[in-house]
Structure 1
């Protein structure tokens, strides 16, 4: 109940922010000061003195993201959870492996075994209605195949060009996403992860892009951290301040070592 009340308050603030971000004369000012404000706000929320930019887009090896986070409904609260520090056992819960998902298995069939979409598990489950959280037109086999062919285009693009952030794609293609108006929305439109107590990267959202990146063997992809485990921050701080070798190459640590 408390979370629902807080959510109503956030939505009200969000509506005001989105309204301002859409006004032509205010839009430029918004994008100048929104990053400054959210860096300060989320840093205060995290409460640690070591270098940490909570809205930084990290470069992550997709092979380091092996399984899902154990937080409940994590993908549904990306905007709200950005920059959060959380205690508990959520990072030690047994969760599904990325390579065990219908999407990953179907992408393997499509891109490594050259199967038509109609013969993949993903196609069958979407057409039958077994997968209901996927935003696709499943009225007929033909329309569904056309929807899935968008992944063929994305796969080819990733083969030919460097993986780009969603913001970079918007600038280059001119495509507008009317429901991605504010800074936090655009950040959480990237592949999102949590960081467990020992630095484990736990997947939250963006599975199609992550699966394609894994299949293509990409060395790095952009990702945004939503939640860090409370026990991770002291280990991170030790690596940054004391020069300990453990975790020095971690994507949540290495960029800050290079900048010092």
Structure 2
């Protein structure tokens, strides 16, 4: 709650009353539906179908992607954080298959400037002890006040446990390479628990989450620990799940879906190697 109040005050200072009221209202609605989802709605195929229909513009489009499809991405290509909000990571299951217009894809916030990403760089690239890292010191201060700033930590014991869990995650990826969640489940292995519980049926799809900008750029949404480790270890490719697409990028998908391959314009052809378009290209080959 304290973190939410701080965010609300920051939005009020930077954006004014109207923007604050709009974002608070949106947060309350999204939080309500997410809570209902975790209580059972996410188990309903009809509810999932409703979310896909609503988030994709009430069936205005034809080239609707499978929101649970996992695609490959170069970690180094994920440079910026999505500007879509509020809390796109927390509400990622409410946002499945979203297509949205606006300037949310023009964010200048860099992934490598996120506090957690910087902390992991200090730990694994600079070799610093966890207690020497400013972010962890701040997490402990907040935990002593009962505020969970990182991975649900509300005590110093929690912080130590989670630091150890991240060390284990790094060691596992370094030793066994980066594995998808489905591969981990099939191997009956476990990964450290995240800062929030996810519905069981979504666990096989709990990968690094990205949005896609109007230009086809991947924008970070969720999974900062795994993404940071993949970058540090210079892993070439990781599985990601796409949460939202900019409406202009969706038009690229629509054009590719509706236009014979020999007539595809150059503006679309330049994206033909994009991971988000491969299913459309494969479908056209099978026709």
- Compute the TM-score of the two structures, normalised by the length of structure 2: 0.71
Quickly say closer, same or farther: Cα 1:250–1:206, change in 2 above 3 A.
same
The corresponding residue for 1:135 is: 151
- Does residue 55 (structure 1) correspond to residue 72 (structure 2)? The answer is no
SS in 2 for 1:129: helix
The corresponding residue for 2:160 is: 145
Quickly say closer, same or farther: Cα 1:76–1:245, change in 2 above 3 A.
same
The corresponding residue for 2:250 is: 233
Structure 1 residue corresponding to 2:221, chosen from 204, 208, 225: 204
| Shift, 1:180, TM fit | 3.4
Structure 2 residue corresponding to 1:165, chosen from 174, 177, 180: 180
Mapped contact 1:65–1:203 kept (Cα < 8 A): yes
Mapped contact 1:59–1:223 kept (Cα < 8 A): yes
Report how many aligned residue pairs link the two structures.
243
For 2:243 and 2:96, how far apart are their aligned partners in 1? 4
Mapped contact 2:101–2:246 kept (Cα < 8 A): yes
The corresponding residue for 2:115 is: 102
The corresponding residue for 1:87 is: 101
Q: What does 1:112-123 correspond to in 2, within 5 Å?
A: 112-123=125-136
For 2:126 and 2:90, how far apart are their aligned partners in 1? 33
The corresponding residue for 2:137 is: 124
Moved more, 214-223 or 169-178: 169-178
SS in 2 for 1:147: helix
For 2:154 and 2:200, how far apart are their aligned partners in 1? 30
Mapped contact 2:34–2:91 kept (Cα < 8 A): no
The CA deviation string for residues 68-102 of structure 1, in whole angstroms up to 9 with x for no partner, is 111122222211111011111111243x2111122
Moved more, 44-53 or 111-120: 44-53
The CA deviation string for residues 93-130 of structure 1, in whole angstroms up to 9 with x for no partner, is 43x21111222222222212222212222322212228
The CA deviation string for residues 177-215 of structure 1, in whole angstroms up to 9 with x for no partner, is 8943353x4366321111111111111111111101111
Mapped contact 1:236–1:247 kept (Cα < 8 A): no
For 1:200 and 1:113, how far apart are their aligned partners in 2? 29
- Does residue 250 (structure 1) correspond to residue 274 (structure 2)? The answer is yes
The corresponding residue for 1:72 is: 85
Gaps of 5+ in 2: 1-24
- Name which structure has the greater RCO, CA cutoff 8 Å, separation 6+: 1
For 1:109 and 1:152, how far apart are their aligned partners in 2? 13
Root-mean-square deviation over aligned CA pairs? 3.3
